[in-house]
Structure 1
Amino acid sequence: MNRPNSPAARPGLSPATAPLNQVRYLVGVDGGGTGTRVRLSERSGRILGQGESGPSALGQGVEQAWRHVQEALALAAVQAGLAPLDLSQVAIGLGLSGANLIEAVAEFHAQQPGYALVALDNDGFTSVLGAHGGRPGGVIAAGTGAVGEALRADGSRVCISGWGWISGDEGSGAWLGLKAMRHAQQALDGRAVPGALARAVWAVAGQERHTILAWCAKAGQHGYATLAPLVFEAAPDDGVARAFLAEAVAELESLARALDPSEQLPLALSGSIALRLREKFSGNMRARCVEPQGDSADGALLLVRSALNSEPGV
């Protein structure tokens, strides 16, 4: 079986376009739907500079992704005091949202502007690599949405949840917000007893049927996620809110067990919901939670370094 750090196991690894023994710089990219962060290092590993630009999620377009990666890299080079880089001397690793879109990945590689080597994976996996320094471990990300990814001890990879806020993402902010809104609607109908949580939702969306319907019609994932803090705030005085938080804990623990049935891998948490619920997790899961060693851009640097080192003759 191919291990995840081998070129054959990583469909986003492109053929080398220049002699890899001439590579002087490594670049790590964390790119999503709201922004792109780039970290530039010497081949030895010393960090030289960082830069940021607009979104580079592949689902938003390959041309945009490369444009923003290049803009962020240019800023990192300026911060490092370097002249514009000769891309034939640069190997780049990217953790991009949407890197599971096969056609977009192929187009992304076809449009690469001349890097000596391009290693591409999804931003969830580079988050795992960064959080655990390339060693086995898992990441549970629960903020607006929820997803878990892990690199297991046998070298296999797994992704759990992340199905989107309408049908999944249990334990996320949008999921909690949906539950809060349903409760507020039921309380307005007289199907539930109004408490602190229902009143807090009414304060946001109104206490009339037409205002609540109008709010829901335009809320979207982000809008529902803005209701999640109300659940935490109401919990001390509202049994319904406390029950919702207990359900969120159970969902995230279920996600963690699916990531690692042995319940032995270290876990890094990210996202506002996961971090706020950390102290409510069961003893075993709480004991396995560790502070991340690095972020997705660090993981992308590890990704490209692994790809570079695996090439023959380098």
Structure 2
Amino acid sequence: MGALFVGVDGGGTSTRCVVVTESGEIAGRGRAGGANAISVPDPAANLRAALLGALEGLDPARVAGGVFGLAGAARAAEPAERAWREAGLAGRPAVVADVLVAFTGATDQPDGAVLVAGTGAIGARIRDRRIVRRADGLGWLLGDEGSGVWLGRRAAAAALNAIDGRGAPTLLVVRVAEAVLGAGAAGEDDGPALTQALIAAVYARVAESGPAWLGTLAPVVDAAAREGDEVARGIVAEAARRLCRTAGVVLGEGARERGTQAERGPDQIGAGPLVLAGSLLTEPTELAHLVRAELGRRAVLVRAGDNAAGAAALAVRAALPGDPRAAEAHRVLIEQGGPWG
């Protein structure tokens, strides 16, 4: 029996794991809750659950290596290694940034850039399958501009502002109230009582599930924007503007304005594709439409595939450095990297 390799993609709301063969065939899949160390209370438990799901029916002794793509890779190493041990696997997995496996899950090119907008948001410049520059990815409190959590916070704030008169009237009052409190929550009296109910519920949900819960309100903003609500449209347009600004940084656009390619250095050359990753950019959202329209004029866009498969591709490449079989396995994994359902 041949060696097996593990690839894990741990996001803010879900963790996906694949176990693959040396030739790139997927032998097992597992899925669990989020594994972001900032916004998820127990990331190790979800990593372990995804690992065990993918390994079901397989011999753990055959696993020769693994790569975990996680936000905040430095602080994520401990929960990743703990989950690896508790799943009965020998050795240690490599832990890399989630943004890197988003890139390698979409393209076998060594150089390019990636923009992620899901629960969080980050941009990165990639050279030789290593991150050489980052923009944003600062977490829900300090950054992640244009992310699901960013959108959710602004949706809740816009609803509350409309209720007390500081903001323009908006469909978000009814839609946020329904999402947070249930159908019919926003009645004829949308005053102080509704305000207090929303505040209490939002804070309680965040305390219970972590800040990532705010990302569940992102579809509310998108739906209201599609219906023509001006406040929602403004929030989505601002999210798109901020994401495109992040992309511009990692594409080296500022450097192109300041000097020649030779002066900028290889980490700022706009070569290779720009991978768009995260549900807000890969699904047919209003935000994706705006971002693609703008960035499509500035780079060759590639839609993200299976980030867990991208992590597995890195694991195979690490085990077979310079081996043409690893490059072929990478291509096979990208071809298999469809939706999880």
Question: With structure 2 as the length reference, what TM-score do the two structures score?
Answer: 0.68
1:187-206 alignment runs, 5 A limit: 187-204=162-179, 205=181, 206=186
State the SS of the aligned residue for 2:138. Answer: coil
1:40 aligns with 2:8: no
1:307 is displaced (CA, Å) by: 1.9
Change (3 A) 1:24 1:176: same
Q: 1:99 aligns with which of 73, 87, 93?
A: 73
Alpha-carbon distance in 2 for matches of 1:240, 1:248: 13
Change (3 A) 1:72 1:109: closer
Structure 2 equivalent of residue 130 of structure 1: 105
Q: Match of 2:156, as an amino acid?
A: M
Structure 2 equivalent of residue 212 of structure 1: 198
1:289 aligns with 2:280: no
Change (3 A) 1:196 1:129: same
Q: Match of 1:308, as an amino acid?
A: A
Alpha-carbon distance in 1 for matches of 2:83, 2:77: 10
Q: Match of 2:121, as an amino acid?
A: A
Structure 2 equivalent of residue 258 of structure 1: 249
Change (3 A) 1:246 1:284: closer
Summarize deviations over 1:132-153 as a string: whole Å, max 9, x none.
Answer: 2252223322122222233137
Alpha-carbon distance in 2 for matches of 1:75, 1:109: 15
1:26 aligns with 2:4: yes
1:29 is displaced (CA, Å) by: 1.6
1:303 is displaced (CA, Å) by: 1.5
Moved more, 160-169 or 30-39: 30-39
Stretches of structure 2 that go unaligned for 5 or more consecutive residues are 254-269, 324-341
- Report if aligned partners of 1:125, 1:150 keep a CA contact under 8 Å in 2: no
Q: 1:74 aligns with which of 55, 70, 79?
A: 55
1:144-159 alignment runs, 5 A limit: 144-152=119-127, 156-159=131-134
1:91 is displaced (CA, Å) by: 3.3
Change (3 A) 1:179 1:306: same
Structure 2 equivalent of residue 242 of structure 1: 233
Q: 1:271 aligns with which of 267, 272, 278?
A: 278
Summarize deviations over 1:87-145 as a string: whole Å, max 9, x none.
Answer: 4x723333345532277289659959664784432333222112122522233221222
Question: With structure 1 as the length reference, what TM-score do the two structures score?
Answer: 0.73
Stretches of structure 1 that go unaligned for 5 or more consecutive residues are 1-22, 78-83
Change (3 A) 1:186 1:267: same
Structure 1 equivalent of residue 28 of structure 2: 50
Change (3 A) 1:216 1:98: same
Question: How much is the aligned-residue C-alpha RMSD, in angstroms?
Answer: 3.6
Change (3 A) 1:284 1:269: same
- Report if aligned partners of 1:26, 1:304 keep a CA contact under 8 Å in 2: no
1:249 is displaced (CA, Å) by: 0.7
Alpha-carbon distance in 1 for matches of 2:169, 2:203: 23
Structure 2 equivalent of residue 81 of structure 1: none
Alpha-carbon distance in 2 for matches of 1:310, 1:132: 18
State the SS of the aligned residue for 2:140. Answer: coil
State the SS of the aligned residue for 2:56. Answer: helix
Alpha-carbon distance in 1 for matches of 2:19, 2:134: 25
Q: 1:229 aligns with which of 219, 233, 240?
A: 219
- Report if aligned partners of 2:19, 2:55 keep a CA contact under 8 Å in 1: no
